[in-house]
Amino acid sequence: MRKSIIITISIIISIVCFSCQKRTQNNSQKIWLHRANDIPKAQYFQDKYAGLEIDITYIDSLNTFIVFHGGDLDDTESVTLEQWFNEIENINELGLWLDFKNLNCYNRKPALDELNRLCSKFKIKKNKIIIENWNAQDLPIFQEDGYKTSYYIPNFNPKKSSKYDIQKHTFKIRKAISSYNITTISGYHYQYQFMRDSFPEQNLLIWYIDNDKKVQKKYIQLAQQDDMVKVLLIAGEIPKNKK
């Protein structure tokens, strides 16, 4: 009897370990997939990464989110965030990075209400969602409601910028942090050292979305070693033989 119990426990542990390994094949809960807007792409990678990043646009007239990065919006091809959630198995087990493309002072409250509705419907915990936006003043309403938030800093390359430009951006970021209680900032991989040195108290979200595997590996290792880096986004495409 005791032997059978031990065997049963061992099997359960093995299943759990396999599930965790499958979800985090990149050996870290920090490594997430960049731009999983396309549903087949999200479905293919949903068990291969700890989280997925998608781009969302709030449509006032429809009181809903469209999964949409930018360009010409074609309503005949658009997928709502609700449809996207519905197509992803075990959506409530994934981390979700929502890159909000048009968040502003006019739509932030109805957008929050709609996101709350979706979280309730799909049983998604708010602290598993990151709301990212370039306008820091629109983030506190989400943070106060239990979501994680990140201020998307201005896009500039510190190594190619003048001292004056770096000071200008530093001042703007520091003002946003102090004015709106920002705890997390996000930017490109080439901004990592600037963010780390200039704002050591901030959590960091970064992305490396080029195809150089050697450089990608470098940033994966960096993310694993730096406690202040909470998520690294990397690129991924469905292999042609899997489409």
Per the listing, tokens 């990678």 go with 45
Q: Does residue 243 register a pLDDT over 70?
A: no
The pLDDT assigned to 177 comes to 98
The answer to whether residue 17 scores a pLDDT higher than 70 is no
* CB-based burial label for 27 (10 Å; 0-12, 13-18, 19+): exposed
Rounded Cα distance between 137 and 200, Å, is: 21
Question: How much is the pLDDT for 71?
Answer: 60
Write the DSSP assignment of 168-218 as a string of letters: HHHHHHHHHHHHHT--EEEEEGGGHHHHHHH-TTSEEEEEE-SS-HHHHHH
Please say if the pLDDT value at position 221 is more than 90: yes
Integer Cα distance of 66 and 56 in angstroms: 6
Instruction: Please tell me which residue, 60 or 243, carries the higher pLDDT value.
Output: 60
Single-letter code of the amino acid located at 163: K
Q: Residue 240 has what pLDDT?
A: 83
> What secondary structure letter does DSSP report for 123?
T
Taking 3-state DSSP, the helix, strand and coil percentages for the chain, each rounded to the nearest 5, stand at: 45, 20, 35
- What residue has token string 């997928």? 79
Alpha carbons 172 and 154: distance in angstroms, whole number? 9
Section 219-242 average pLDDT: 95
CATH architecture of the domain covering 26-242 = Alpha-Beta Barrel (3.20)
Distance, CA of 238 to CA of 42 (rounded, Å): 9
Q: Where are the beta strands (DSSP E) in the chain?
A: 31-33, 51-59, 64-67, 79-80, 95-100, 129-133, 148-152, 184-188, 203-208, 229-234
Question: pLDDT class for 1, splitting at 50, 70, 90?
Answer: low
* Torsions phi, psi for 234 (to 5 deg): -130, 155
Residue 10 predicted with pLDDT over 70:
no
- State the average pLDDT over residues 239-243: 80
Among 60, 76, 82, 78, smallest CA distance to 68 is for: 78
Is 176 in contact with 164 (CB distance < 8 Å)?
no
Residue with tokens 């800093």: 153
pLDDT band at 73, cuts 50/70/90? low
CB 98 within 8 A of CB 56: yes
pLDDT interval class at 22 (50, 70, 90): very low
> For residue range 195-215, what is the model confidence (pLDDT) as tens digits?
999 999 999 999 999 999 999
Averaged pLDDT of the chain: 90
Per-residue confidence at 74, pLDDT binned at 50, 70, 90? low
Angle at 180 between CA 169 and CA 184, to 5 degrees: 70
pLDDT digits (tens, 9 = 90+) for 110-147: 999 999 999 999 999 999 999 999 999 999 999 999 99
More confident residue, 49 or 2: 49
Q: pLDDT, tens digit, for every residue of 136-181?
A: 999 999 999 999 999 999 999 999 999 999 999 999 999 999 999 9
* 11 pLDDT tier (thresholds 50, 70, 90): very low
Task: Calculate the alpha carbon distances from 221 to 187, 216, 226 in Å.
Answer: 17, 9, 9
Which residue ranges make up each domain of the chain? 26-242
